[in-house]
């Protein structure tokens, strides 16, 4: 009898353990019966690149019907929101950078929970005239799958050597350069600064000991950008409006994906104007949700919903933050998106990034 | 309608409100709030005036009220610093740098470019031919040489009041500093760069606070101008009017090393009103819809989904005969970092880079001005002549400015004078004004005559940017006969700007303004603001 009971107990424990360890239930069931009552409002700061996803009526519907949530999202730079802005009344912060979470902790603040919802690699956007010039120079190559890579160390060298666009056979003034958002206020610029720092460090991840020596070169690299935008969405939209044939900008893979999906009738016009270059190596932009309150926690839970994750990829180009989930680029029907990202380098350590942000902070 | 919630809410209004709150509604479809209405105060750059019918057509169709007001981009920046207290719901400056600089409270959302237009030199065709500029690359150095050689008189808006002037000025600075990667403080402090820039700006023969108005003035008095710095779209508009009058068009010259482009962003100032936000999103989507972008393109503004599709343009508008070049890559000089940008504007206004102003203030101190009117005049003059106050609006005097004040009633009382920007001297002038009291009748014509005489006596030449600011609140006795006599046969009149107050006769000051190539500012809802706007014109 005792053995029988022990077996039952063991089976029960095993079943419980299996249940607890099981990955979150897949799409169809998760959040089907939402909490009763009126919608809870989640107030958050969010990186601009997620705005269109959050404003998508389909996203709002899923959040409301499956999770009982309505969002009040205010756009803010990823670094600004964890370092400078007032958090009173906010349920969550949703920057575009895991380092932002570190900065948040370094300021002494406590999060209820954090969770990476999405990932998107940093890419470089430019026009075909510039891309073709770089192909001629051997910096850019087309992969069999149809996407383009750029050897980032070589591009960096070209910028630092102050080669002119005219030297590459292009017919306009200026020095070859890659523009980004303000690294001290916005994530894509921040991550780009980390990538540039690593490459200036001989393609080695920068730590606290190495960072000081690199700061003057980093400052010299960013200073010529002049007035930098504070948000990744701003720099992307300005690029689309006036910058395509005369500049290279840093952005996220998902920005052009989303833009194409939002303008299907202009697909050919967009594809024939804009080229996306995947840097070798690049850095991942993770989109962690920092929950400050219970409502923030509910947002985390909601974003793990398979249907919402699927929507995020299908309509906005965000790669999943869930472990073990891979992206199918065929779903997007966009030629330039790779299935996996070839070459990734981790960002410098949080303390090193902090020094970098300090050194690149423009006087206000 | 894909909004599931709608089916559950009773009542159309409630459903509509909820639809707005959850953003249900298709971008670009135009049906945003059936049965409801919203009112948006839209503050836009003057260069967008020709697009107003497009916006009002949308407004009528969607039953939205659009209260459209025109302001300079720099003033929009200053207003943005007020955050939610801004009167505007929608801000539409000529360039995104003014939103970047002004939006310190982070209230602007959804800012997106509606159209874009490069800043060009519009040069009378015969002048461009004479200069040998028709078929070659022209640099800022070429422009400087032509202007200094007396071969090019050009009009340009104030860099501290208007975007086209600001971007033109930044382009000059960049080129004259030797085309660095970006303009830095060290370039601004370089005496040679300052000297060359000042020499170029000294050749401006007319200033303005508004790009649109400058274009109108140049078209109206075409014989007095060789060229203007303005948007390509304004040159196109001007040329359509000029050629309709049988006059020769201007040719667009793109300074190769001083290029700039206005990206015309329209943004929403979030005051927490969901209905207004929905109305804004619908307006913005409408303006960016393919059909409207095509219409905007037909009006000479660059538009389209990505940059400009050169194959889609109408060559009667983007006319190669007018030098309009849609194939050229417009690589704008980078906007400098904020401290450099602010210092550049300060150098322009106060540091002697701009052409000095000679301003005569004819101030109505007739009996009817007693009380409120008198107080407001004194407040307005304090704002213009006190450095710290003027500085807030980037209107501070420079070391070479001339200020004449003529208080008048039935006759001009005296001519008070101050030169430069020494606080003690300006303080004396202000004390003189403070000690002046209202009484008597009104004769604006005698006052203006006195102003012109005072300028002539001091031999104020075209080395100055000259203006008379005539502020009055009453019907004037006398008439403009003597004034017309004085103007007859003179090539260029001193512009006499009107600032009206109280019972002022608009027609009288309007006639004087029209005679002299100036405009009238309504001071009835605030004299101080009217003075401020008027001062931005010289």
Contact A223 B182 (CB under 8 A): yes
Does residue B135 sit at the A interface (CB-CB below 8 Å)? no
Contact B182 A363 (CB under 8 A): no
Closest CA in chain B for residue A171: B329
Distance CA A20, CA A28 (A): 19
Count the neighbouring beta carbons within 10 Å of the beta carbon of residue A148: 20
pLDDT of residue A10: 55
State yes or no: pLDDT of B9 exceeds 50: no
Q: How confident is the model at residue A342 (pLDDT cuts 50, 70, 90)?
A: confident
Does residue B330 sit at the A interface (CB-CB below 8 Å)? yes
Chain B environment of A75 (Cβ under 8 Å): 109
Same fold, B4-113+265-300 and B117-262+315-346: yes
Chain B environment of A165 (Cβ under 8 Å): 331
- With a CB-CB cutoff of 8 Å, which residues 283-302 of chain B face chain A? 290
Closest CA in chain A for residue B270: A74
Digit-coded pLDDT (tens) for B393-419: 999 999 999 999 999 999 999 999 999
Does residue B182 sit at the A interface (CB-CB below 8 Å)? yes
**Contact (CB, 8 A) for A118 and A319:** yes
The nearest CA of chain B is from the CA of A130 a distance in Å of 11
Chain A environment of B116 (Cβ under 8 Å): 241-242
Digit-coded pLDDT (tens) for A81-92: 988 888 999 999
Contact A173 B179 (CB under 8 A): yes
Count the neighbouring beta carbons within 10 Å of the beta carbon of residue A332: 17
Contact A270 B3 (CB under 8 A): no
Q: How confident is the model at residue A41 (pLDDT cuts 50, 70, 90)?
A: very high
Does residue B74 sit at the A interface (CB-CB below 8 Å)? no
Residues 6+ apart with CB under 8 A from B38: B64, B65, B273, B275, B276, B278, B279
Q: Choose, out of B329, B335, B339, B345, the residue to mutate when testing the contact with A (most A CBs < 10 Å).
A: B329
- Is the CA virtual torsion A169, A170, A176, A179 positive or negative? negative
Burial of B488 (0-12, 13-18, 19+ CB in 10 A): exposed
**Contact (CB, 8 A) for A232 and A95:** no
Residues 6+ apart with CB under 8 A from B152: B123, B127, B131, B143, B146, B203, B226, B227
Q: How confident is the model at residue B449 (pLDDT cuts 50, 70, 90)?
A: very high
In the numeric block, the tokens 């059909």 are attached to B291
Q: How confident is the model at residue B502 (pLDDT cuts 50, 70, 90)?
A: confident
Of the given ranges (B17-26, B45-54, B129-138), which has the lowest mean pLDDT? B17-26
Mean predicted confidence (pLDDT) in B515-530: 93
Alpha helix (H) residue ranges in A69-114: 78-83, 98-106
Closest CA in chain A for residue B289: A263
Name the DSSP class of A223.
G
The nearest CA of chain B is from the CA of A192 a distance in Å of 19
Digit-coded pLDDT (tens) for B221-230: 999 999 999 9
Digit-coded pLDDT (tens) for B463-473: 999 999 999 98
Does residue B331 sit at the A interface (CB-CB below 8 Å)? yes
Distance CA A330, CA A90 (A): 38
Mean predicted confidence (pLDDT) in B434-442: 96
Mean predicted confidence (pLDDT) in B309-333: 93
Contact B116 A242 (CB under 8 A): yes
Digit-coded pLDDT (tens) for B337-360: 999 999 999 999 999 899 999 999
pLDDT of residue A151: 97
**Pick from A314, A319, A339, A340: which is nearest to A329 by CA?**
A339
The nearest CA of chain B is from the CA of A274 a distance in Å of 8
Burial of A70 (0-12, 13-18, 19+ CB in 10 A): middle
**Contact (CB, 8 A) for A150 and A134:** yes
The nearest CA of chain B is from the CA of A322 a distance in Å of 27
Does residue B64 sit at the A interface (CB-CB below 8 Å)? no
Contact B307 A241 (CB under 8 A): yes
pLDDT of residue B2: 40
DSSP string, B442-482: --HHHHHHHHHHHHHHTT--TTSEEEEEEEE-S--SS-SHH
Distance CA B378, CA B396 (A): 17
The nearest CA of chain A is from the CA of B112 a distance in Å of 7
Contact B305 A60 (CB under 8 A): no
The nearest CA of chain B is from the CA of A246 a distance in Å of 5
Between B487 and B270, the higher pLDDT residue: B270
Q: Choose, out of A185, A241, A246, A259, the residue to mutate when testing the contact with B (most B CBs < 10 Å).
A: A241
pLDDT of residue A33: 57
Distance CA B218, CA B242 (A): 10
pLDDT of residue A98: 84
Q: Choose, out of A53, A67, A189, A226, the residue to mutate when testing the contact with B (most B CBs < 10 Å).
A: A226
Count the neighbouring beta carbons within 10 Å of the beta carbon of residue B393: 20
Residue A338 gets the label, from left (phi > 0), alpha (psi -120 to 50) or beta, of beta
Closest CA in chain A for residue B278: A55
State yes or no: pLDDT of B271 exceeds 90: yes
State yes or no: pLDDT of B25 exceeds 60: no
Of the given ranges (A196-200, B29-33, B133-137, B214-218), which has the lowest mean pLDDT? B29-33
Contact B337 A74 (CB under 8 A): no
Contact B338 A246 (CB under 8 A): no
The nearest CA of chain A is from the CA of B337 a distance in Å of 4
Chain B environment of A274 (Cβ under 8 Å): 306
pLDDT of residue A362: 63
- With a CB-CB cutoff of 8 Å, which residues 306-325 of chain B face chain A? 306-307, 309
Closest CA in chain B for residue A273: B306
pLDDT of residue B29: 37
pLDDT of residue A364: 42
Mean predicted confidence (pLDDT) in A184-205: 93
Residue ranges of E strands in chain A: 40-46, 69-75, 92-94, 113-127, 140-142, 148-151, 248-252, 274-280, 284-291, 319-320
Percent of chain A with pLDDT over 90: 63
**Contact (CB, 8 A) for B361 and B404:** yes
Name the DSSP class of B337.
P
CATH of B4-113+265-300, one of 3.80.30.20, 3.40.190.10, 1.10.357.10, 2.60.40.150: 3.40.190.10
pLDDT of residue B479: 81
CATH says B356-535 is which class? alpha beta
Contact B113 A242 (CB under 8 A): yes
Distance CA A268, CA A215 (A): 42
pLDDT of residue A83: 85
CB-nearest partner of A266 from B112, B305, B339: B305
pLDDT of residue B447: 95
Per the omega criterion (within 30 degrees of 0), is the bond before A281 cis? Answer: yes
Q: Whole-prediction pTM value?
A: 0.87
Does residue B332 sit at the A interface (CB-CB below 8 Å)? yes
pLDDT of residue B8: 41
Mean predicted confidence (pLDDT) in A99-103: 86
CB-nearest partner of B335 from A226, A266, A274: A226
Chain B environment of A361 (Cβ under 8 Å): none
The nearest CA of chain B is from the CA of A12 a distance in Å of 42
Contact B338 A229 (CB under 8 A): no
Distance CA B228, CA B488 (A): 25
CB-nearest partner of B5 from A64, A172, A230: A64
The CATH T-level fold of domain B117-262+315-346 is: D-Maltodextrin-Binding Protein; domain 2 (3.40.190)
Chain B environment of A174 (Cβ under 8 Å): 181, 331
Contact B338 A270 (CB under 8 A): no
CB-nearest partner of A242 from B179, B184, B263: B263
CATH says A24-119+286-331 is which class? alpha beta
Of the given ranges (A97-106, B184-193, B514-523), which has the lowest mean pLDDT? A97-106
Domain with CATH 3.40.190.10 in chain A: 24-119+286-331, 121-284+343-360
Distance CA B387, CA A312 (A): 54
**Pick from B508, B401, B385: which is nearest to B446 by CA?**
B508
pLDDT of residue B17: 44
In the numeric block, the tokens 């930098």 are attached to A228
Of the given ranges (A127-136, A173-182, A258-267, B250-259), which has the lowest mean pLDDT? A258-267
Report CA-CA distances (Å) from A364 to A285, B113, B353.
27, 26, 25
Q: Establish how many alpha carbons lie within 13 A of residue B177's alpha carbon, considering only the half-sphere containing its beta carbon.
A: 23
Count the neighbouring beta carbons within 10 Å of the beta carbon of residue B240: 17
Domain-wise residue ranges, chain B: 4-113+265-300, 117-262+315-346, 356-535
Which superfamily is assigned to A121-284+343-360 in CATH? Periplasmic binding protein-like II (3.40.190.10)
pLDDT of residue A31: 47
Contact B330 A242 (CB under 8 A): yes
Digit-coded pLDDT (tens) for B83-110: 999 999 999 999 999 999 999 998 999 9
State yes or no: pLDDT of B493 exceeds 90: no
């Amino acid at each position: 009898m005792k053995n029988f009971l022990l077996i039952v107990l063991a089976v029960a424990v095993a079943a419980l353990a299996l249940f607890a360890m099981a990955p979150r239930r897949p799409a169809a069931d998760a959040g089907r019966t939402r909490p009763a009552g009126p919608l809870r409002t989640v107030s958050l700061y969010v990186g601009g690149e997620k705005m269109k996803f959050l404003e998508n009526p389909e996203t709002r519907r899923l959040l409301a019907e499956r999770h009982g949530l309505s969002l009040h999202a205010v756009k803010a730079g990823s670094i600004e929101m964890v370092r400078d802005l007032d958090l009173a009344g906010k349920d969550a912060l949703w920057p575009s950078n895991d380092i932002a979470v570190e900065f948040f902790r370094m300021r002494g603040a406590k999060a209820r929970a954090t969770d990476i919802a999405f990932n998107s690699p940093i890419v470089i956007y430019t026009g075909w005239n510039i891309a073709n010039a770089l192909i001629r120079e051997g910096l850019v190559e087309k992969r069999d799958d149809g996407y383009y890579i750029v050897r980032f160390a070589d591009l960096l060298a070209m910028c630092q050597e102050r080669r002119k666009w005219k030297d590459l056979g292009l017919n306009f003034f200026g020095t070859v350069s890659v523009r980004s958002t303000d690294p001290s206020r916005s994530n894509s610029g921040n991550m780009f600064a980390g990538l540039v720092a690593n490459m200036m460090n001989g393609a080695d991840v920068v730590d606290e000991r190495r960072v000081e020596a690199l700061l003057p070169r980093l400052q010299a690299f960013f200073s010529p950008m002049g007035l930098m935008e504070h948000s990744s969405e701003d720099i992307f939209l300005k690029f689309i409006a006036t910058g395509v044939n005369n500049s290279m900008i840093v952005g996220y893979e998902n920005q052009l994906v989303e833009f194409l999906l939002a303008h299907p009738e202009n697909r050919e016009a967009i594809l024939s104007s804009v080229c996306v270059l995947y840097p070798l190596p690049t850095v991942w932009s993770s989109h962690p949700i920092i929950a400050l309150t219970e409502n923030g926690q509910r947002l985390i839970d909601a974003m793990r919903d398979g249907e919402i994750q699927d929507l995020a990829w299908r309509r906005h180009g965000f790669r999943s933050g869930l472990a073990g989930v891979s992206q199918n680029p065929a779903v997007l029907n966009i030629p330039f998106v790779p299935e996996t990202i070839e070459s990734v380098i981790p960002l410098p350590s949080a303390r090193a990034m902090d020094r970098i942000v300090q050194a690149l902070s423009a006087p206000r | 309608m894909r909004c599931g919630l709608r089916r559950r809410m009773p009542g159309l209004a409630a459903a509509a409100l909820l639809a707005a709150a959850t953003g249900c509604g298709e971008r670009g479809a135009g049906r945003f709030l059936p049965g409801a209405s919203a009112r948006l105060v839209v503050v836009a750059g003057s260069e967008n005036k020709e697009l107003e019918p497009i916006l009002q057509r949308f407004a009528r169709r969607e039953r939205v009220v659009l209260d459209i007001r025109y302001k300079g981009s720099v003033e929009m920046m200053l207003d943005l610093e007020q955050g939610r207290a801004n009167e505007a719901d929608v801000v539409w400056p000529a360039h995104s740098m003014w939103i970047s600089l002004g939006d310190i409270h982070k209230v602007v959302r959804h800012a997106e470019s509606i159209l874009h237009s490069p800043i060009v030199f519009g040069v009378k065709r015969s002048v461009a031919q004479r200069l040998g500029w028709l078929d070659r690359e022209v640099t800022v150095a070429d422009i400087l040489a032509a202007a200094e050689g007396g071969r090019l008189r050009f009009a340009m808006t104030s860099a501290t009041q208007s975007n086209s002037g600001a971007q033109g000025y930044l382009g000059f600075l960049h080129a004259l500093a030797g085309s660095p990667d970006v303009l830095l403080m060290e370039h601004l402090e370089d005496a040679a760069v300052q000297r060359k820039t000042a020499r170029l700006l000294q050749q401006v023969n007319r200033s303005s606070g508004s790009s649109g108005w400058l274009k109108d003035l140049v078209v109206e008095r075409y014989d007095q101008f060789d060229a203007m710095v303005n948007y390509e779209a304004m040159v196109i508009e001007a040329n359509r009017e000029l050629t309709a009058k049988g006059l020769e068009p201007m040719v667009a010259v793109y300074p190769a090393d001083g290029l700039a482009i206005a990206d015309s962003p329209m943004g929403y100032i979030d005051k927490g009103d969901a209905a207004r936000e929905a109305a804004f999103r619908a307006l913005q989507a409408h303006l960016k819809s393919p059909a409207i972008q095509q219409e905007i393109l037909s009006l000479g503004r660059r538009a389209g989904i990505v940059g400009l599709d050169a194959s889609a343009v109408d060559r009667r508008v983007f006319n190669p005969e007018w030098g309009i070049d849609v194939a050229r890559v417009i690589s704008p000089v980078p906007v400098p970092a904020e401290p450099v940008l602010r210092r550049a504007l300060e150098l322009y206004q106060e540091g002697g880079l701009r052409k000095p102003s000679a301003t005569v203030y004819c101030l109505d101190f007739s009996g009817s001005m007693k009380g409120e009117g008198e107080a407001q005049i004194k407040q307005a003059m304090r704002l213009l002549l006190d450095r710290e106050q003027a500085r807030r609006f980037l209107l501070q005097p420079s070391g070479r400015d001339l200020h004449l004040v003529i208080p008048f009633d039935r006759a001009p009382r005296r001519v008070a004078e101050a030169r430069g920007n020494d606080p003690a001297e300006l303080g004396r002038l202000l004390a003189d004004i403070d000690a002046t009291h209202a009484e008597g009748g009104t004769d604006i014509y005698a006052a203006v005559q006195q102003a012109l005489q005072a300028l002539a006596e001091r031999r104020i030449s075209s080395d100055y940017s000259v203006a008379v600011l005539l502020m009055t609140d009453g019907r004037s006795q006398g008439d403009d006969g003597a004034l017309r006599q004085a103007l007859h046969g003179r090539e260029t009149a001193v512009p006499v700007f009107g600032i009206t107050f109280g019972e002022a006769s608009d027609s009288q000051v309007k006639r004087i303004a029209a005679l002299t190539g100036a405009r009238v500012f309504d001071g009835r809802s605030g004299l101080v603001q009217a003075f401020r706007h008027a001062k931005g014109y010289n």
